[in-house]
Chain A
Amino acid sequence: MQEFMNYLAGQIEACRAKIERLEADGRKDDANFARVRTNIYDVCRTVTNTLANRPGAGEAAVKAQFARFETTWGAALEKAKAHGDAGAIAVEETKLAALADVAAHFPEEQA
């Protein structure tokens, strides 16, 4: 689990550096999307910190919370698509991409 937490910290740091780079390059809106991505890594870190060590919760609870995020943000994406809301589509896709990245790095359960 420590390795996963280090990975999240690394992603947050990388995103922050990217935000600085994009802002310096005059790409304010792209920087805002990078900020959304940072927030997702941060939210996932908080969820993991809170649930992973809680008695009766653990890794399964973390995974279940990630799945709930996916459902909620997936529904928001579909809604945005149905209304042709380009801004919301970009935000929800950014959130889902970051979440997919997090889920792919989450440690597999030990047999």
Chain B
Amino acid sequence: MTEENALKLFKCLSDASRLRIVQSLMQGEMYTELLAERLELTPSTVSFHMKKLEEAGLVSSRKEQYYTVYSLNRAMLEKPLSEFAVPVPKQMDEQEKREEEYRQKVIKTFFEYGRLRSLPVQHKKRRICYEEIAKHFEPGRVYDEKELNEIIIPIHEDYCTVRRDMIGEGILRREGSQYIRVK
């Protein structure tokens, strides 16, 4: 387990409500409404906590008719604490980590549910947004203009500017009326 994942796990558990959810799930699988009743929380609040527990790898869920049933990932809970004391090589150095955090902050600010709210004025931020849009294109695959526009339009209405800028940034390459993602 990386240091980042370990921190995520401990942060997740450092909340009394989530700890109580884990305690309840020790007794067996449960669904949202039952947990909400037991812990005197609203179902949406329980779902919020469950999402965090799932992200930390502590809980898994499955759909059963109208309900979402949650169960504990016991393998994760049974890990000895000493395992976290063993240093694991960091995946990123500090500079890379800061850049990634900045990148995520820009994406969070400018995108809402995958749609670009507005084009950033600052070049560095705009570049990050274009790189995020580029994830919708397979590297090396050839797209015609119509296909390309159909992918961009749901993300941002000014698809001409986006397309032109992405070529200018070297993210897309144009060959006649065809487009290829460079990287």
Chain A contact residues, CB within 8 Å of chain B: 25-30, 33, 79, 82-83, 85-87, 89-90, 93-94, 97
Contact = CB atoms under 8 A, between A and B. Distances in A.
B44 A27 contact: no
A86 B17 contact: no
Nearest to B113: A83
A4 B113 CA distance: 38
Interface residues of B, number: 16
Contact of A86 (B15, B50, B113): B50
Contacts, number: 43
Given A29-B49, A83-B113, A93 B44 contact: yes
B18 to A, nearest CB: 8
A27 B14 CA distance: 9
B51 to A, nearest CB: 4
Given A79-B113, A83-B113, A89 B14 contact: no
A87 B51 contact: yes
Contacts of A94: 42, 44-45
